[in-house]
């Protein structure tokens, strides 16, 4: 009896080998991911999450912005970032943010990502800017920045201070309009 090769089985084996060897399908270990990412162009501020003029209420949350430089040998694809915010000296987190930032467009070795912005879900509540600035609960904050990719566990990229700059201006009060002619 003569045996014939099964084309479908052979094609399946070739397909599996191709996927295993194709660079875009490979996963990165946690160590590879950490050694491939450099955080650059970092900035931070407090921004408005909610503003209501009457009754007065303002919620400010920390926000960070940065870019990733790929200092590794492989392209960076499918990288998610998690920012965990806390006040210095306080082990309890007061907010976080998650973003699936690097998706379809890989960051090649030596390349820079687009800007990545992570805005906390929680922050500091007050009546107005002066009330928040004078609030003793509004202390120096910091953020722990993590990255995770397919095949890795979360890796700590660093702990960064959050500036106490506020990127919000209250609207000017609306008063009675007076006739410029003095009537």
The whole-number pLDDT of residue 112 equals 98
CB 82 within 8 A of CB 148: yes
The whole-number pLDDT of residue 15 equals 40
Tokens of 45: 């501020």
The whole-number pLDDT of residue 71 equals 98
pLDDT in tens, the chain (183 residues): 444 444 444 344 434 333 333 444 468 999 999 999 999 999 999 999 999 999 999 999 999 999 999 999 999 999 999 999 999 999 999 999 999 999 989 999 999 999 999 999 999 999 999 999 988 888 999 999 999 999 899 999 999 999 999 999 988 776 655 555 655
Structural domains of the chain in order of their starting residue, each with its CATH number? 28-167 (2.60.40.10)
The whole-number pLDDT of residue 182 equals 55
For the residues of 131-164, what is the DSSP string, one character each? HHHT-TT---EEEEEEEEETT---EEEEEEEEP-
For the entire predicted model, the pTM comes to 0.80
CB 111 within 8 A of CB 38: no
The whole-number pLDDT of residue 178 equals 59
Strands 141-149 and 79-87: antiparallel
CB 125 within 8 A of CB 92: no
**What are the backbone dihedrals phi and psi of residue 26, each rounded to the nearest 5 degrees, phi first?**
-75, 150
d(C-alpha 97, C-alpha 118), whole Å: 6
The whole-number pLDDT of residue 8 equals 43
């Amino acid at each position: 009896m003569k045996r014939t090769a099964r084309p479908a089985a052979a094609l399946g084996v070739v397909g599996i080998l191709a996927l295993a060897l194709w660079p875009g399908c490979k996963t990165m270990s946690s160590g590879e991911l950490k050694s491939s990412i450099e955080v650059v162009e970092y900035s931070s501020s407090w921004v408005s999450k909610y503003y209501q003029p009457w009754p007065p209420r303002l919620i400010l949350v920390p926000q960070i912005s940065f870019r990733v430089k790929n200092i590794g040998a492989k392209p960076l694809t499918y990288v998610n970032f998690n920012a965990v915010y806390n006040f210095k000296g306080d082990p309890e987190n007061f907010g976080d943010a998650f973003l699936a930032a690097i998706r379809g467009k890989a960051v090649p070795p030596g390349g820079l990502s687009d800007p990545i912005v992570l805005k906390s879900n929680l922050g500091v509540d007050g009546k107005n800017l002066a009330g928040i600035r004078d609030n003793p609960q509004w202390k120096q904050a910091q953020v722990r920045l993590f990255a995770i990719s397919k095949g890795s566990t979360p890796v700590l990229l660093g702990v960064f201070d959050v500036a106490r700059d506020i990127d919000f201006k209250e609207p000017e009060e609306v008063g009675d309009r007076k006739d410029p002619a003095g009537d």
